[in-house]
Amino acid sequence: MSNQLDHEEISSNLEFLDDWEDRYRYLIELGEKLPPMDESDRIDDNKVNGCVSQVWLSTRARTENGVNHIHMSADSDAMIVKGLVAVLMAYYSGKPAEWIASNDAGTLFDELGLREHLTSQRANGLNAMIKKIRSLAREYI
């Protein structure tokens, strides 16, 4: 198991941060703690289309009790986007492919009040990341 936070812990931490600036700083901190992505995974096939920033996403499946669990690594060249990626990794990575394919992390960002503070370009990029993650998960079902 990695040392990254789970999405419940991230949600709990964000509840204490009323100010958007504090939430913004927290997202940047989460991005800084994201485990480094292997350089061999920084290829065009792993780029997320639809993001203004560069975002790479790599998935691998591990079969546990006959079920494919998807483990991800990701990175971005933009600090705030890297934080959004960290939240997505906490939400999705390690979960069964079927669960990932049927769960939209966009609702999590709405519940956390994060999406409302994103520029339209970042919100579109977030949607593109979620769409790619769920699409990749469907390939493992």
What pLDDT digit, counting tens, does each position of 37-59 carry? 999 999 999 999 998 899 999 99
CA–chain centroid gap for 79, Å, is 13
User: φ and ψ at 94, to 5 degrees?
Assistant: 90, -10
Domain residue limits, the chain: 7-139
Q: Check if 15 is active-site.
A: no
- Helix H or strand E encompassing 72: strand 67-76
CATH number of 7-139: 3.90.1010.10
Packing angle between helix 20-32 and helix 7-15, nearest 10 degrees? 150
On whether the pTM is more than 0.85, the answer is yes
- DSSP state string for 117-139: GS-HHHHHHHHHHHHHHHHHHHH
Q: Active site residue: 51, 55, 72, 129, which one?
A: 51
- pLDDT single digits (tens) 75-105: 999 999 999 999 999 999 999 999 999 999 9
